[in-house]
Amino acid sequence: MLSAAPTNKASGTIDMLDLAADRTDRRIIQVSHSPDELLLTWDDGRFSRFHALWLRDNCPCPSCRHPQALERTYKFIDHPAAKIATASLGASGELSVEFASTEGRHASSFSTGWLHRHCYSEAARYERVKRPRLWDRAASCDLPVVDFADYMNTDHGLRAWLEALCSWGIVLMRNAPAEPGKLLEIGRRVGPIRATNFGEYYDVVSMPNPNASAYTAMELELHTDLANWRWPPDYQLLFCVRNDAVGGGSILADGFRVAEDLRRDDPESFDLLSRYPVEFRFHDESCDISASAPTIGLDGDGRLRSVRFNNWLRSTLDVPADVVAPLYRALGRFWERLRDPSYHLTIRLRAGEMLAYSNHRVLHGRESFDPSTGGRHLQGCYITHDDVMSRLRSMDRRS
């Protein structure tokens, strides 16, 4: 049965039932196909190859995709394999494809911008990879800084903050009112606050009976937070309400920089840290939360995905006997590097300043401080990567 995809009357292009803005200056200049594949030639000389089954699966017509929910309703498993019968360009450059199968025929149309955005050639996929901007002490003078009012009131301020977080893994905010709870307002501009066993947010002050090292005045070595959770929070916001005690500077290091250097200089340790899990555990009177994960997390292509390191939450190693000694050695090598000041960004937060950083990449710590010399009151909370990316994608639709 033939069914035409709806056209977006305003732009004259195909409505892909996809809210992302599919703008492109590129044009398709040639279309060729076999029953199983379609080959597009773009005006910059590039090619896109699409499989018939992929195109059929992504048909945006209202019988294949719900026009209000914008979700897929087509179930490829319930249909015989479709072959490409015809393929041609329409008047506004859109691609029209007619599929044929034992069920009959089906017409689909695809917008140029959508096809360009979803091209899965090797070159296109390589270009789509977001590469972190690695940093060390030398690069830390370029630390991205965003003004509170810009962030709260403008798209460009919010975007600058979100993009810095994604690229650098860290961003400093200045000039916020130094009020308790202000960090929640800042976090909620991105999305819901991620609560943990410490609540929706926590105060970092020295306490008489601390249940965590953060609540003392002692030095804290570099670490990632909540390593004992199966999925630790993605981003930490650390807001300074007051800081006039002697000491207490914040120390940060780009775990991806350290890990990449380890991969280059000591591949054996890198391999062990990416293959074998380390156990972590937090327990107090109300909870007992435990998880294990490799120190260095990699994606399927070997790119860095996460760093997890926290010595006071580290529990008992549970690995094959012949791995125990090599893994301790590899952990020590990584830890030694973390202590190397050439990786350290040291910053003494002032009242009304806030650091945000990736808890899967940037390790944080602090110098000890002397609570008898003044007050040090920081507040912390967490937000999620999905909300960060959602805000960026939503802004991309409008700009």
Binding-site ranges for Fe ion (CB under 5 A): 225
Nearer to Fe ion, 22 or 225 (CB): 225
Nearer to Fe ion, 118 or 364 (CB): 364
The DSSP line for 278-317 is EEEEEE-SS-EEEEEEESEEE-TTS-EEEE---TTTB---
Nearer to Fe ion, 225 or 353 (CB): 225
Work out whether strand 296-298 and strand 304-307 pair parallel, antiparallel, or are unpaired. antiparallel
With CB atoms as reference, the residue minimizing the distance to Fe ion is 225
Task: Report whether 276 contacts 294 (CB < 8 A).
Answer: yes
Nearer to Fe ion, 111 or 196 (CB): 196
Place of tokens 């819901």: 192
**How near is the Cβ of 189 to Fe ion at its closest, in Å?**
22
Nearer to Fe ion, 213 or 384 (CB): 213
List the Cα angle 206/212/214 in 5-degree steps: 50
**How many Cα atoms sit within 13 Å of 293 on the Cβ side?**
23
The Cα-based distances of 20 to 113, 121, 162, 392, 393 in angstroms read 10, 20, 18, 11, 7
Nearer to Fe ion, 60 or 380 (CB): 380
**How near is the Cβ of 347 to Fe ion at its closest, in Å?**
15
Which secondary structure element, helix H or strand E, spans residue 395, and what is its range?
A: helix 385-398
**How near is the Cβ of 226 to Fe ion at its closest, in Å?**
8
**How near is the Cβ of 213 to Fe ion at its closest, in Å?**
8
The Cα-based distances of 2 to 13, 103, 387, 388 in angstroms read 19, 11, 39, 40
**How near is the Cβ of 214 to Fe ion at its closest, in Å?**
6
Name the residue type at position 173: M
**How near is the Cβ of 91 to Fe ion at its closest, in Å?**
59
